[in-house]
Amino acid sequence: MRSHDRQFSPVAMAAEVLESRWTLLIVRELCLGSKHFNDIRKGVPKMSPTLLSKRLKELEWHGILKRVESPKGSRKSMYVLTQAGNELFDVINAIGSWGKRWIDMRHNLDSAKENLLIWDIRRNLSMEYFPINKAVLQINITDAPKKTCNWWFIFDGKERPDVGYLDPSLDVDLYIETSLSSLTKIWLGESTHSTENKAGTFQIEGSQKMIDTFESWFGSSNFASIPKFAIAS
């Protein structure tokens, strides 16, 4: 940008840093705890690795994150938010709250991507309430593509579970069968698993201990409690 074109409004200057496509979503991933390149990419799967690498370098140049070497024995670098980056947490929450409150999500429910939903569920599980030390959860999304209609969560201790769509050939402790729309509505606080169960779109069976505590550990989106405002047609 030529010097005489530079903005002097703080809003405009911030927009110049954050308005590039995918940038806010990358910051969201970092705010939610993703630290490695592949973990960040799972939250923005439509973004090419080359463009993600470019955006990360731009954010580092602007002082929003820093790249640090992982402990010895690991070849992965980590991306960590700086003080400036951490201050964007409230910005991301405000945008998400506004979106939940005012954006009509009915059309998005029909075109939601199961991998994004599963990844969001995984990182928001309330592991402190998970009742079993080791367990396997299988979620069958009946209307998802055949390749990605089954997802396995492998729990081991209080760490977040490994998640994937390749059958690990392990005994399943809890099995959920649901539609993508129903699971999304439950996750966003638009419905409950008991309501969807009565409608026949959400079935759960297996470990009684996991079922009894399901609502406490399965959790919901960070924005599930935000009320939806009426939108004029």
Identify whether the C-beta of residue 196 lies closer than 8 Å to the C-beta of residue 184.
Answer: no
CATH topology of domain 3-102: Arc Repressor Mutant, subunit A (1.10.10)
Q: Quick one: pLDDT at residue 190?
A: 87
Chain-centroid distance of CA 40 in Å reads: 10
| Best CA proximity match to 117, nearest among 218, 201, 7 | 218
28-86 pLDDT, tens digit per residue, is 999 988 999 999 998 898 899 999 999 999 999 999 999 998 776 666 789 999 999 99
- Average pLDDT estimate for 155-178: 95
Domains 3-102 and 106-218 share a fold: no
> Percentage of the chain with pLDDT > 70?
91
Strands (DSSP E) contained in the chain are 65-69, 77-81, 134-141, 150-156, 162-164, 174-178, 202-206
CATH topology of domain 106-218: Nonspecific Lipid-transfer Protein; Chain A (3.30.1050)
Q: How far is CA 189 from CA 44, 138, 149, in A?
A: 23, 21, 22
107-163 pLDDT, tens digit per residue, is 666 556 899 999 999 988 999 999 999 999 999 999 999 999 999 999 999 888 999
Identify whether the C-beta of residue 139 lies closer than 8 Å to the C-beta of residue 161.
Answer: no
Instruction: Give residue limits of the domains in the chain.
Output: 3-102, 106-218
Query: How far apart are alpha carbons 182 and 202 in whole angstroms?
Result: 7
